[in-house]
Amino acid sequence: MNAPAAALEPTPTIDSENPAVVAFAERHRGDGSERERAVNLYYAVRDEVRYDPYSIVLSEEGLSAGRVTATGRGWCVSKAVMLAACCRASGIPARLGFADVRNHLSTERMREIMKTNEFRWHGYTSIWLEGKWVKATPAFNLSLCEKFRIKPLEFDGSEDSIYHPYDLDGREHMEYLRYRGEFMDVPLAEITAEFDRIYANMMRYIADGDFDREVARETATPTP
């Protein structure tokens, strides 16, 4: 069985022909096997692009890999898009997967404006490697994991890389509630409709958010 041809094609969101995306992929993928190149791209997207839940822009351009490359920031969906675009730009079939999760990594302000710790349409990348689809979740960059004391997600190209249920101190971290399926492109209309219904309060306030500042404040070591 081979991956569908659509898993290699660019889209307005997974803009794998964008020169900046192509350059990013070329800079990071290396010259190894397909699996080794996918692993290199995973770590580049995970750590070179900062996780920022206030970077949500629900449009083709707003979610595009080109925008992520330009800003150096993304949330789970746009970072998954970025990894898929880098894989497609490197001749590696990739698509997008979605799940609903209960996320315990958030700031006080995020919890206040979301009114819930349930994140609908959490995004990950599904990559076709060695005859099977493998899940890769590049959302949380290493420095963020270190600050919140959660185990960073590793990816070897052979096994699924999905969130750990507990952090390094044994506290609840991430719970998968349901899987939405995997798609060749972002199901933008479905995501937008659900966000408008569930996260209307959050979407009104994200433009004023500064996630880096909130993380720094909440993870600072208290002065003796």
Convert the pLDDT of each residue in 35-79 to its tens digit: 999 999 999 999 999 999 999 999 999 999 999 999 999 999 999
Residue 90 CB partners (closer than 8 Å, separation 6+): 25, 29, 37, 38, 41
Residue type, 85: A
Residue 12 CB partners (closer than 8 Å, separation 6+): 60, 61, 64
Distance from C-alpha of 107 to C-alpha of 166, rounded to nearest angstrom: 17
pLDDT at 38: 98
pLDDT at 104: 62
pLDDT at 105: 66
SS3 98: strand
Instruction: State the Cα angle at 189 between 128 and 111, rounded to 5°.
Output: 90
pLDDT at 223: 45
Reported for 177-182, long-range contacts at CB under 8 A and 24+ positions apart, including other chains, are 177/99, 177/100, 177/101, 177/102, 177/118, 178/99, 178/100, 179/97, 179/98, 179/99, 180/97, 180/98, 180/99, 180/100, 180/121, 181/97, 181/98, 182/95, 182/96, 182/97, 182/98, 182/126, 182/133
pLDDT at 173: 76
Residues with pLDDT less than 70, the chain? 104-105, 166, 221-224
7-211 to CATH, choices 1.10.260, 2.60.40, 1.20.120, 3.10.620: 3.10.620
pLDDT at 201: 85
Asked whether 123 and 97 are in contact (CB, 8 A), the reply is yes
Going across the sheet that includes 132-136, the strands are: 132-136, 118-129, 94-103, 174-183
pLDDT at 101: 92
Distance from C-alpha of 2 to C-alpha of 62, rounded to nearest angstrom: 31
For the question of whether the overall pTM of this predicted structure is more than 0.85, the answer is: yes
Asked whether 48 and 70 are in contact (CB, 8 A), the reply is no
pLDDT at 221: 61
| Burial annotation 178-194 (CB, 10 A radius, 16+ → b, else e) | eebeeebbbbbeebeee
